[in-house]
Amino acid sequence: NAGVTQTPKFQVLKTGQSMTLQCAQDMNHNSMYWYRQDPGMGLRLIYYSASEGTTDKGEVPNGYNVSRLNKREFSLRLESAAPSQTSVYFCASSEGRTGIYGYTFGSGTRLTVV
């Protein structure tokens, strides 16, 4: 099935642990994004990649790093997890800046930091 695949779907971390959230798309999209969704806050942009080899900060980048490994894959790394990073993380991709068809989202990673 074409789309955006995120792994893992659920994760529990202890404060200070690190982990990488994986995202892959098979639609040949140039742009990829990482958002976090918190109750009552909507979605907030963490990082984005307009094309292979480029990454830029979004609204809430502190505590995160990203890697655009190739055109298909865009990973999000938490180097030292904090309880404030408990959230649902969504990866998305688009054809061009926003794309005439909008964004395609993955199903999300629910992360709990204890």
For residue 94, CA distances in Å to 29, 40, 60, 61 come to: 5, 25, 20, 20
Q: Which of 18, 107, 112, 114 binds other proteins (CB under 8 A)?
A: 107
The distance of Cα 51 from the centroid of its chain, to the nearest Å, equals 15
Distance of closest approach, residue 40 Cβ to other proteins, in angstroms: 6
98 contacts: CB under 8 Å, gap ≥ 6:
none
48 binds other proteins (CB under 8 A): yes
Contact 17, 82 (CB under 8 A): no
Q: Which of 18, 70, 98, 112 binds other proteins (CB under 8 A)?
A: 98
Count residues binding other proteins (CB under 8 A): 28
Distance of closest approach, residue 83 Cβ to other proteins, in angstroms: 22
Greatest distance between any 2 Cα atoms in the chain: 41
Distance of closest approach, residue 58 Cβ to other proteins, in angstroms: 6
**Binding site residues, other proteins, CB under 8 A:** 4, 31, 33, 35, 40-45, 48, 50, 56, 58-59, 90, 92, 97-98, 100-108
